[in-house]
Every structure is written in structure tokens, then in C-alpha cells.
Amino acid sequence: MTTLQLVFAGVLGALIGSFGNVVIWRLPRRESIVFPGSRCPHCGHRLSPLELVPVLSWLALGGRCRACREPISPRYPLVEALMAALFVLLVWRWPPTEHGAAVLPLLAVVAMLVMAALIDIDHFVLPDVLTFGALGVALAGSFLAAGAPGLPGPGAALAGALTGAGVLLLINRVGGLVLRRFADTRERLFPFSLDQANLAAVVGALGGVWWGLAAGAVSLLANLLTRRVLRLSEPLVYGLWLVALLLTTTSFAVGTAEGVAGSVMAAGAWALVGALYWWVHDLVRPGAEEEVGEEEQEPVAMGFGDVKLAAVLGAFLGWERFLVGLFLAVSVGALFGVGQRLAGGGRVIPFGPYLLLGALLALFFGDAIIAWYFGLLGVGA
Ligand SMILES: [Zn+2]
């Protein structure tokens, strides 16, 4: 284990952080992220390479533009320093000299998710290109993870991704039902709608993941064959889902563990497939999302940022540590919310950044927390 590796990781992280600042600013504004070069937002002064050295340039210039002396936000060097610190931690935990390339996909995924989380804080959106991009890298990268401690292999990564997506989808749907006081949605998307995931959740609880997946396929096929959106109302579906979950404890169903896992993973799979379809659909036909009135439908394509983010997190954590990360995210979010209220308000922070924070904590401390928890229950050890 050489210091050189860590230094290299820190420099690489700072450079990626610097590029990340460009992405965070330009991606949500639909500007090119490679061209033109960086300029001062106040006077348009073109930044020279010497003014673009991560962290150091900002410090050397005293946090001001060299041309107009207007202040430059400290957020830029902070993002660079954060990325450098994360890269050093990841390489320290999975040094390439010991575990080969296992850490590389993780670096790329964490970099993309930090950018996505900061865009979420600014614009309340997690860009699909970052979440789906990171999901692809995380799933493909799981093939490199074989043998590296604490990183899931391909099967566990896929199960983790489906679990992450499914848990967030179910929170999203059940939470939405409660907020709407159990009224149905007006969502009528064709051919991929919420119905595939909703039905998969019910049938998956009774028959396991494969039957859940099949139920979603039947729903999609029925839509395609009839050229209409055939759907069950959500209050009905989630009423049935509760009954199905109760039945998992009886001999009618596959058993509680398999039923819950089947319900979550089948629903997650159809949520992701639907989200992927709508992402590609909007890429191919830009502006299509603006044609339909926003009031008319609940957009599957845009509202599922946290579902996609959770899929990425599950893919590199595995399902057990994903649940630890989710618990930490909810706890930190609640504490911060209470703190904010006591301090007399402040900006609303979306859930995405908390989710990423919880996941990063779970990546390093998840196994210790799981061991501590089961120790508390008196199981294992
Ligand atoms: Zn300037």
C-alpha cells in the first residue's frame, strides 16, 4: 500500500470535482459540458489553465475573479475537495495494488452521484443521464468486484439494484396514496405506466419474483394489444398488496422472506424498465414531455429520480447495506429537518442527497452496523 496511490487518487478526485462543477452548472441548463471553456459568471473573463487548478487557484486568488475581483462561490473548491476526499477514502479501502480494478467503477459511480445530488439540491431533479449512467457502470463494474471485500458480485448487484428501486417505488406509491387521502392517480401513460410495477408488487408477494415479473409483463402486453391503458386503481392495488403481504405468513403463498423480496424486486424491475423507456422516449423526441399538460398525468419519467438513484446505490451496496443506508438517510434527513425547524426554517433539501450520504456511510460502516444490530438482537455472533 503506497502513499503514491492515495496522492494520485486525491489529485484525480480534485480534477473530477473541477469537471463536476462544470457539469453541475451546465447539465440542468442543457448547455454543452465540454465547450466553451470556463468563464467568470460576472465579467465573462476566460479562465486560464492556471486559474483552473482545483482548490489552489481559488485559495491563491482569495476567492475572487482575477479580472473583476467579484467573489467566486466557495462551493467550487469545496466540491473539488469533497471529491478528492471521497476518492482517497475509496482507494484507501480498495487499493488497486491489492484488488485490481475493483475500485474504478466505484470511483466513477460516486463521482456521477455526487454531481447528481448537487444538481438535485439546486434544481430538485436527478438527471437521468447521471443516474442511469451510474446504474450501467455499477452493474457492469460488479464483474470487476469479484473477490474484493464488501463489494457485491454481479448477482448481488442486480438483486441490490432491484431492491433499491422497489423499496423507493413502494415508499413513493404508498406515500402518494396517503398524501392524496387514498384517491387514485390520474396517471394514464402508454404503454409503460405505474400499473406494471404495482401489479408486480402484489403478485410478487404471493408467488415470488418471477411471478411478479410475469404479472407486469401481462399488464404491458394487455396495453399493447388493446392499444389502451388498462389499469387498476391504486387504492385497490395497494389494498390487495397489504392482503398479499398478510397472506405471505400463511401456506397460501411462498413464505414471508421470499414474498417480500419478490414483491420489492419485481416492482423495482418494472419501475426501472418503465423509467428507462420514458428516458429513451424523451431523448428520441425532445420536448415531448412539454406537449402534455402537467396536470394531466403524474409523470413516471420525471418523478422517479430517487427510485433510479436507489437502484444505483443497491447495485454497489447489495440489498442488506442498502437498507442500512436508507435507514441512515431517513434518520439524518429527519434530524436535519428538526434542526432546521428549530433554527427557524431554511431551504428545503430533497431526499436524493440524504440517500447518497446514507449510502456512503453504509459503504464504509454498513457491515459493522449490521453486526452491531444483530448482536443487539442476540442473533449470530
Ligand atoms: Zn470576473
Answer yes or no: do 57 and 141 share one domain.
no
Answer yes or no: do 314 and 293 share one domain.
no
Predicted confidence band at 182 (pLDDT cuts at 50, 70, 90)? confident
Q: How many structural domains does the chain have?
A: 3
| Distance (Å, whole) CA 28 – CA 190 | 27
Give phi and psi for 39, each to the nearest 5: -130, 160
Task: Give the model's pLDDT for residue 296.
Answer: 42
Task: Tell me, in angstroms, the distance from the centre of ligand 1 to residue 76's CA.
Answer: 15
Task: Tell me, in angstroms, the distance from the centre of ligand 1 to residue 104's CA.
Answer: 36
Answer yes or no: do 320 and 290 share one domain.
no
198 located within any domain:
yes
- Measured CA to CA in angstroms, residue 82 lies from 7, 86, 351, 357 at distances of 15, 6, 19, 12
Task: Tell me, in angstroms, the distance from the centre of ligand 1 to residue 116's CA.
Answer: 27
102 located within any domain:
no
Answer yes or no: do 196 and 289 share one domain.
yes
Task: Tell me, in angstroms, the distance from the centre of ligand 1 to residue 12's CA.
Answer: 27
Task: Give the model's pLDDT for residue 251.
Answer: 75
261 located within any domain:
yes
Answer yes or no: do 193 and 280 share one domain.
yes
Task: Give the model's pLDDT for residue 298.
Answer: 42
Task: Tell me, in angstroms, the distance from the centre of ligand 1 to residue 327's CA.
Answer: 44
Predicted confidence band at 228 (pLDDT cuts at 50, 70, 90)? confident
Task: Tell me, in angstroms, the distance from the centre of ligand 1 to residue 4's CA.
Answer: 36
Task: Tell me, in angstroms, the distance from the centre of ligand 1 to residue 109's CA.
Answer: 33
Answer yes or no: do 280 and 316 share one domain.
no
In the chain, the percentage of residues whose pLDDT exceeds 70 is 94
Task: Tell me, in angstroms, the distance from the centre of ligand 1 to residue 39's CA.
Answer: 8
| Distance (Å, whole) CA 354 – CA 15 | 24
172 located within any domain:
no
Judge whether residue 378 has pLDDT over 90: no
Answer yes or no: do 50 and 124 share one domain.
no
177 located within any domain:
no
Give phi and psi for 150, each to the nearest 5: 80, 5
Give phi and psi for 205, each to the nearest 5: -65, -35
Task: Tell me, in angstroms, the distance from the centre of ligand 1 to residue 343's CA.
Answer: 35
Reported as a single tens digit per residue, the pLDDT across 258-268 is: 999 999 999 99
Task: Tell me, in angstroms, the distance from the centre of ligand 1 to residue 71's CA.
Answer: 8
| Distance (Å, whole) CA 337 – CA 345 | 9
Task: Tell me, in angstroms, the distance from the centre of ligand 1 to residue 354's CA.
Answer: 34
Task: Tell me, in angstroms, the distance from the centre of ligand 1 to residue 35's CA.
Answer: 19
| Distance (Å, whole) CA 331 – CA 358 | 9
Answer yes or no: do 333 and 288 share one domain.
no
Reported as a single tens digit per residue, the pLDDT across 280-339 is: 988 887 665 554 444 444 444 336 899 999 999 999 999 999 999 999 999 999 999 888
Task: Give the model's pLDDT for residue 303.
Answer: 61
Provide the domain limits for residue 126. 110-162+310-381
| Distance (Å, whole) CA 268 – CA 274 | 10
Task: Tell me, in angstroms, the distance from the centre of ligand 1 to residue 64's CA.
Answer: 8
Task: Tell me, in angstroms, the distance from the centre of ligand 1 to residue 31's CA.
Answer: 20
Task: Give the model's pLDDT for residue 286.
Answer: 67
- Lowest mean pLDDT across 59-73, 88-102, 247-261: 247-261
Answer yes or no: do 81 and 145 share one domain.
no
| Distance (Å, whole) CA 365 – CA 370 | 9
| Boundary (domain end) residue, out of 267, 297, 327 | 297
- For residues 89-118, give the mean pLDDT: 95
| Boundary (domain end) residue, out of 38, 65, 93 | 93
Other beta carbons less than 10 A from residue 372's beta carbon: 10
Count of alpha carbons within 13 angstroms of residue 100, beta-carbon side: 10
Judge whether residue 32 has pLDDT over 80: yes
Answer yes or no: do 124 and 37 share one domain.
no
Answer yes or no: do 270 and 193 share one domain.
yes
- For residues 177-202, give the mean pLDDT: 87
Task: Tell me, in angstroms, the distance from the centre of ligand 1 to residue 47's CA.
Answer: 9
| Boundary (domain end) residue, out of 273, 297, 321 | 297
Task: Give the model's pLDDT for residue 38.
Answer: 87
| Distance (Å, whole) CA 281 – CA 292 | 14
249 located within any domain:
yes
Task: Tell me, in angstroms, the distance from the centre of ligand 1 to residue 369's CA.
Answer: 48
Answer yes or no: do 292 and 314 share one domain.
no
327 located within any domain:
yes
In the chain, the percentage of residues whose pLDDT exceeds 90 is 66
Reported as a single tens digit per residue, the pLDDT across 356-376 is: 999 999 999 988 999 998 888
147 located within any domain:
yes
